[in-house]
Amino acid sequence: MEQRRSPHVEGSAGQDIGRRRFLGYLLAGPTLVAAAQLGAGAESAEAAVPSPPEPAEVYDLNDLLTLAATPTSNLIAVVVHPDGTVSFDMPRAESGQGITTMAAMLIAEELDLPLEKINVTLADARPELVWNQLTGGSNTTISMYTPIRVAAAIAKGQLLQAAAMKLDETVTRLTPHLGFIQAPDGRKLSYGELAQAAAGRETKQVETDLKPESEFSVIGTPRNRIDALEAVTGRKKYAMDLDVEGALPTMVCRPPTIKGTVRSVNNAAEVRQMPGITDVVAISTGVAVRGRTFGQCISAIRALDVSWGPGTVDDMSDEDVLADIRKAEIPLAVPDVDPLAETVEGEFTFHFRNNAALEPQTAVADVRSDSAEVWAPLQSPILCQELLAKQLGLSVNAVTVHVEQAGGAFGRRFFSDPVIEAAEASQKMGKRVKLMWHRVDECRQGRTHPMCTSRIRASLLDDNVLTFEQRHTSVATDYTMGFGEVITSMAGKIPPLGQGNELGYSNTIFATTVNVPYKFGAVTQLLNEIYEYDTFPSGSNRNLVNPDVRTAQELIVDRIAAKMGKDPYRFRKEFADDERVLAVLDKVAEVGEWGREMPANTAQGITVHKEYKGAIATLVEIDCRPETVNRKIRNAVTGPRVTKAVVAVDPGFAVNPRGLEAQMQGGLMDGIAQALTSSLHLRDGVFLEGSWDNYFYTRQWNTPFDVQIVVMPPTTGEPGGAGELGVPSAMASVACAYARATGTMPTSFPINHGTLSFDPKPTVPPLPPSPTDGLQHTY
Amino acid sequence: MPEHTFKLNGKQVTVDVEDDVRLLWVIRDILEVYGPKYGCGINVCKACTCHINGKAFNPCSVRVADIEPDDEITTIEGLPGTVGKDLHPMQEAWLEHDVAQCGYCQPGQIMAAVAKVRQARAEGHEVGDADLDEIRNICRCGTYNRIREAVRTGAEHM
């Protein structure tokens, strides 16, 4: 892995940070609390010269998210405690991305404090933050990089002043180092000893410098996760591991079709008498069962006799949805180009996919007559709090929402469905509940990345691509929880979206996230959606529409290259529209030995992507030889195997190159799954998949043997987003490699969707029994 | 209610619970040992992987009544105790390679890894790609490559 600190880059936006002054706050209190504003407050202390209008393409989703945060002007605070530790209550969700580690690194850098002295926790819902407590769009590092540093730098300044008083020295003669302030004569005071003396007597605005990049010793260096020890010892707590007195296991008996409804519960009294069971009540989404153990809840759910009403898509199957999509497809325009131009076209289908994490949906709820308290992993906790208040008839201030560490999120935890359910159950039972979804619930009633098609038509003449049209048609994606406010508030203000609100959320997201990273002539990309946003319980997979949009594009790019008689790498090199894209492309070609001799039925694929203020290229090698495709592993879907992957990533500036590397590996695994194996099959209003033995996310037997991640040297000096950046190029490269290895361009994803590789589990009862033969499978 | 007794992480424990409750729920909901995680309840995701008498198994798929009084159940919490240290070499390897992301599957991954190394050795070889391909534990963050590296490192110190 390559990573070196940034040399001075002329004209780079980030380079002035060290010389600019920033505004923050010293807050009144018994110990030192320094704060900074998210968004606007992190601006330079000098009056900023207004920027000239920026080209429309600069407004990507992250600009929207960052700008939406601006007017809220609220504070994040770094607290220095008398025991010498520092704490930071982060208004974001940690779900594996490594943002708590990132925050700790920023604080360690500006405060000159060892990482292990810093405790980063997740803030409860803070309604005053309005839009500024949303974790998504790979935006956390982008939006928090400066504010966290400002708060930490102010804290250091206050510690220095307090030390100067105590040591009778001038501040400039003192040195902060690893939690101590040292005087030239060797005298030193710990931050703990200074915390109270440095505390604010009154709240006041303070100016500070930030460390210049040239002095960084933590930021930009590879660091392990701050919660790694807790994770490997089993001590890391998730919502279901919390000891909330009296909160007993609770599960929901769910309908046999998507969004079906409860007509009547025919044997509630009987089921209530089952061992361990304390409560059985109908709620909006099914029948909630509470008991001593989750195992007994599963048994009770299996015993329930419920009459179900219809759902929203009963009788519909994959082919019906696809037919509706095809009817709604916007025609490709007939390009007005030279009559001698050749045309390359393709239509691609992307099937429904599940976005569930390994930790299922969970929530602990304690609803009283005048208050409510919930604990759950949430990407959008303020919305959850508002929804709960509305549902329970309470004021927002009477609802406390604790954000728990998530066992993965991937967009699924924007939605508060499990918390709403838990609150309803708690209210109706008059008891505390610890509610968890069964895995089957996740597959069959969980959120799904919508089925879509992407059609592309390109026209070429000689060595030029004259036009490149893409028409994306999709089942509606639900963006109403989490993204809604941000986008609606901003959409009307941002060029070229001046049309304002008549463009819906999805079109705004589409317009601000998609692009074609090549110098093609007239490029148009349009999205059209069918159905209501809630016809299917939908939500985005990691990276929203781009895994599909970019895979379609890159397959066509390979076709265009072939038509021009050019190699896929050299074609991309010639047409890449951005120097950073070109640099990562060259890097993977070099490290991955592009064009090396390979056996028949194996091939390389190479693609690029730019998003989240970063650039990425992925080179994969795939093995489609029969002996590999048909390899046998018990109860496993094997198929073509990606044997090697090389990823080069330029995030602008990597705060933690090791965390970035992990995110790229994860994105690669998602891309492999979406290209080759993972999808849902809709049949008669229900998804056939019932668990991980039906839903084929990448497993060890699908994992490449050789994965190399190259982190490029800093380019912009400012960190971009990492969480989702790895997915689209990975998926596209796997698809392109598959096309080259087999000689057939795949047009339906994942490629194995046409084969149902399992016997569907029954829908009534909705849950399978837990097996009893576990001792026959020990090893 | 029937009484069941077995050894959990070196201590004899006794619970009053129906025979057919699966061991995972006895461990988590009654004994409040939370290292083993739920991910599917049907022995496919392997997030709850623990050891019984030193071998990997999944307590989501074993009735508590099928556990004998002298059976030794080890969860991630008890793994270091099996080597008399603060951390098992496999946990050390996990830290060295910074494997975990969200961390939810990792207790199960580590328990599976330890058993896999022992299984390979019982078969007369060191753990290799074919063995690693057989690890069934799902990781939705996609830490598979770091797991492969860490298992090899951990094996060197086991």
Indicate whether A381 and A336 sit together in one domain. Answer: no
| Angstroms from B71 CA to nearest CA on chain A | 12
Q: Which residues in chain B have their CB less than 8 angstroms from residue A236's CB?
A: 103
Given B37, B45, B59, which is nearest A692 (Cβ)? B45
Indicate whether A174 and A297 sit together in one domain. Answer: no
Cα nearest neighbour of A699 on chain B:
B138
Mutate to test the interface with A, among B21, B45, B102 (most CBs of A within 10 A): B102
Does the structure show a pLDDT above 80 at A534? yes
Indicate whether A99 and A157 sit together in one domain. Answer: yes
Establish if A246 touches chain B: CB-CB under 8 angstroms.
no
Confidence of residue A61 (pLDDT cuts 50, 70, 90): low
Does the structure show a pLDDT above 50 at A336? yes
Could you report the per-residue pLDDT of A672-707, keeping only the tens digit for each?
Answer: 999 999 999 999 999 999 999 999 999 999 999 999
Tell me what the mean pLDDT of segment A389-413 comes to: 94
Window 681-710 of A, Cβ < 8 Å to B: 691-693, 697-701, 703-705, 707
Cα nearest neighbour of B133 on chain A:
A701
Q: Which residues in chain A have their CB less than 8 angstroms from residue B62's CB?
A: 772, 774-775
Backbone angles phi, psi at B153, to 5 degrees: -65, -45
Report the alpha-carbon distance of residue A113 to residue A79 in Å, rounded: 13
Confirm if A132 and A72 have CB atoms less than 8 A apart.
yes
Which of these three, A436, A471, A495, is where a domain ends?
A436
Cα nearest neighbour of A96 on chain B:
B102
The verdict on a CB contact (< 8 Å) between A778 and B56 is yes
Helix axes B106-122, B144-156, angle to 10 degrees: 50
Buried b / exposed e across A202-238, counting CB within 10 Å, b at 16+?
eeeebebbbbebeebebbbbebbbbbbbebbbbbbeb
Cα nearest neighbour of B122 on chain A:
A779
Establish if A720 touches chain B: CB-CB under 8 angstroms.
no
| Angstroms from A694 CA to nearest CA on chain B | 10
* pTM of this prediction exceeds 0.80: yes
Confidence of residue A44 (pLDDT cuts 50, 70, 90): very low
Confirm if A746 and A738 have CB atoms less than 8 A apart.
yes
Does the structure show a pLDDT above 80 at A483? no
Q: Which residues in chain A have their CB less than 8 angstroms from residue B75's CB?
A: 234
pLDDT above 70: percentage of residues in chain A: 89
Confidence of residue A66 (pLDDT cuts 50, 70, 90): low
Indicate whether A584 and A523 sit together in one domain. Answer: yes
A701 token code pair: 């037997």
Which of these three, A179, A214, A249, is where a domain ends?
A214
| Angstroms from B116 CA to nearest CA on chain A | 7
Average pLDDT for chain A: 90
Report the alpha-carbon distance of residue A125 to residue A91 in Å, rounded: 8
Does the structure show a pLDDT above 50 at A489? no
Mutate to test the interface with B, among A232, A290, A412 (most CBs of B within 10 A): A232
Window 451-510 of A, Cβ < 8 Å to B: none
Tell me what the mean pLDDT of segment A589-598 comes to: 98
Window 35-54 of B, Cβ < 8 Å to A: 35-45, 47, 52
The verdict on a CB contact (< 8 Å) between B144 and A698 is yes
For residue A293, the domain's CATH number is 3.30.365.10
Indicate whether A210 and A255 sit together in one domain. Answer: no
Owning domain of residue A28: 14-214
Q: Would you state the pLDDT for residue A621?
A: 98
Could you report the per-residue pLDDT of A646-670, keeping only the tens digit for each?
Answer: 999 999 999 999 999 999 999 999 9
Q: Which residues in chain A have their CB less than 8 angstroms from residue B35's CB?
A: 233-235
| Angstroms from B96 CA to nearest CA on chain A | 8
The verdict on a CB contact (< 8 Å) between B38 and A436 is yes
Peptide bond into A750 cis (omega under 30): yes
Q: Would you state the pLDDT for residue A493?
A: 40
Establish if A357 touches chain B: CB-CB under 8 angstroms.
yes
Indicate whether A323 and A411 sit together in one domain. Answer: no
What are the angstrom distances between the C-alpha of A220 and each of A149, A713, A766? 14, 10, 49
The verdict on a CB contact (< 8 Å) between A771 and B98 is no
The verdict on a CB contact (< 8 Å) between B40 and A691 is yes
Closest CA to A194 of A152, A158, A154: A158
Indicate whether A573 and A676 sit together in one domain. Answer: yes
Mutate to test the interface with B, among A122, A693, A775, A776 (most CBs of B within 10 A): A775
Buried b / exposed e across A359-389, counting CB within 10 Å, b at 16+?
bbbbbbbbbeeeebbbbbbbbbbbbbbbbbb
Indicate whether A414 and A473 sit together in one domain. Answer: no
Q: How far is CA A69 from the centre of its chain?
A: 18
In a domain, A767, yes or no: no
In a domain, A695, yes or no: yes
Poorest-pLDDT segment among A42-56, A337-351, A425-439, B64-78: A42-56
Indicate whether A332 and A269 sit together in one domain. Answer: no
Tell me what the mean pLDDT of segment A548-575 comes to: 98
> Count of domains in chain A?
3
Range(s) within chain B of domains with CATH label 1.10.150.120: 81-156
pLDDT above 70: percentage of residues in chain B: 100
Backbone angles phi, psi at A698, to 5 degrees: -50, 135
Q: Decide yes or no: CATH 1.10.1840.10 for domain B81-156.
A: no
Superfamily designation of domain B3-79 = Beta-grasp domain (3.10.20.30)
The verdict on a CB contact (< 8 Å) between B142 and A408 is no
Window 101-140 of B, Cβ < 8 Å to A: 101-107, 110, 115-116, 119, 129, 132-140
Could you report the per-residue pLDDT of B88-108, keeping only the tens digit for each?
Answer: 999 999 999 999 999 999 999
In a domain, A613, yes or no: yes
Confidence of residue A758 (pLDDT cuts 50, 70, 90): very high
What are the angstrom distances between the C-alpha of A416 and each of A374, A379, A422? 11, 9, 10
* Residue A219 β-bridge partners: none
Indicate whether A691 and A583 sit together in one domain. Answer: yes
The verdict on a CB contact (< 8 Å) between B141 and A777 is no
| Angstroms from A146 CA to nearest CA on chain B | 24
Report the alpha-carbon distance of residue A746 to residue A740 in Å, rounded: 10
Confidence of residue A481 (pLDDT cuts 50, 70, 90): low
Could you report the per-residue pLDDT of A118-129, keeping only the tens digit for each?
Answer: 999 999 988 777
In a domain, A225, yes or no: no
Cα nearest neighbour of A641 on chain B:
B133
Indicate whether A374 and A349 sit together in one domain. Answer: no
Confidence of residue A41 (pLDDT cuts 50, 70, 90): very low
Window 17-36 of B, Cβ < 8 Å to A: 17-18, 20-26, 28-30, 32, 34-36
Report the alpha-carbon distance of residue A58 to residue A496 in Å, rounded: 11
Confidence of residue A488 (pLDDT cuts 50, 70, 90): very low
Question: Three-class SS of residue A279?
Answer: strand
Range(s) within chain B of domains with CATH label 3.10.20.30: 3-79
The verdict on a CB contact (< 8 Å) between A227 and B44 is no
Question: Three-class SS of residue B52?
Answer: strand
Check if the interface score ipTM surpasses 0.95.
yes
Given A276, A697, A779, which is nearest B55 (Cβ)? A779
| Angstroms from B154 CA to nearest CA on chain A | 13
Cβ-Cβ contacts under 8 Å for B77 (sequence gap 6 or more): A233, A234, B9, B33, B35
Q: Which residues in chain B have their CB less than 8 angstroms from residue A361's CB?
A: none
In a domain, A588, yes or no: yes
Instruction: Find the angle CA(A116)-CA(A122)-CA(A123) to the nearest 5 degrees.
Output: 130
Q: Which helix (H) or strand (E) holds A400?
A: strand A399-403
Q: Which helix (H) or strand (E) holds A208?
A: strand A204-209
Indicate whether A138 and A266 sit together in one domain. Answer: no
Q: Would you state the pLDDT for residue B111?
A: 98
Confirm if A136 and A543 have CB atoms less than 8 A apart.
no
The verdict on a CB contact (< 8 Å) between A408 and B104 is yes
Establish if A233 touches chain B: CB-CB under 8 angstroms.
yes
The verdict on a CB contact (< 8 Å) between A698 and B61 is no
Q: Which residues in chain A have their CB less than 8 angstroms from residue B47's CB?
A: 358
Q: Would you state the pLDDT for residue A369?
A: 97
User: How many cross-chain Cβ pairs, A to B, lie less than 8 Å apart?
Assistant: 233
| Angstroms from B155 CA to nearest CA on chain A | 16
Q: Which residues in chain B have their CB less than 8 angstroms from residue A360's CB?
A: 38-39
Q: Which residues in chain B have their CB less than 8 angstroms from residue A779's CB?
A: 55-56, 115-116, 119
| Angstroms from A683 CA to nearest CA on chain B | 22
What are the angstrom distances between the C-alpha of B121 and each of A71, B100, B128, B155? 62, 26, 11, 10
The verdict on a CB contact (< 8 Å) between B40 and A698 is no
Q: Which residues in chain A have their CB less than 8 angstroms from residue B141's CB?
A: 96, 408, 662, 666
Which of these three, A165, A181, A214, is where a domain ends?
A214
In a domain, A779, yes or no: no
Q: Which residues in chain A have their CB less than 8 angstroms from residue B25's CB?
A: 249, 293-296
Cα nearest neighbour of B1 on chain A:
A275
Tell me what the mean pLDDT of segment A730-734 comes to: 98
In a domain, A76, yes or no: yes
